[in-house]
């Protein structure tokens, strides 16, 4: 009977120790899982920050390209206008020179007729 009590006491002690071990092991595993989850969330947050930074850089680059394209169009438009004006002035000068040449020619012909 004494052995039975001792055995039951030992079984109860082993059960308490088993509960304590499983409780500690469960706590440790939950802590590890919590740390893994925290790390996973931190990694995801950093990944998203990098992604957003990259997207922002791409937007800035596209905006810069659009601005450069507008400036290029404006320059080419102004340059085309300048060249057309120069060509128009050259043509006007050419026509004026031709007109004066013809006036001199006609004046010379008139003088020849009078002589």
Q: What is the pTM of this model?
A: 0.54
Nearest to 32 by CA among 16, 24, 46, 21: 24
Per residue in 47-101, pLDDT tens? 999 999 999 999 999 999 999 999 999 999 999 999 999 999 999 999 999 999 9
Per residue in 9-62, pLDDT tens? 999 999 999 999 999 999 999 999 999 999 999 999 999 999 999 999 999 999
Distance CA 84, CA 45 (A): 58
DSSP three-state, residue 1: coil
Distance CA 67, CA 72 (A): 8
Tokens of 29: 């595993």
Distance CA 40, CA 67 (A): 40
């Amino acid at each position: 009977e004494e052995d039975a009590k001792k055995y039951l006491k030992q079984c109860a002690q082993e059960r308490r120790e088993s509960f304590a071990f499983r409780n500690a092991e469960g706590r440790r595993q939950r802590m590890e899982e919590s740390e893994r989850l925290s790390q996973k969330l931190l990694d995801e947050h950093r990944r998203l920050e990098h992604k957003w930074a990259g997207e922002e850089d791409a937007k800035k680059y596209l905006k810069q390209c659009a601005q450069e394209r507008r400036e290029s169009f404006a320059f080419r438009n102004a340059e085309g206008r300048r060249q057309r004006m120069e060509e128009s002035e050259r043509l006007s000068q050419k026509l004026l020179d031709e007109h004066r040449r013809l006036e001199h020619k006609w004046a010379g012909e008139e003088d020849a007729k009078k002589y």
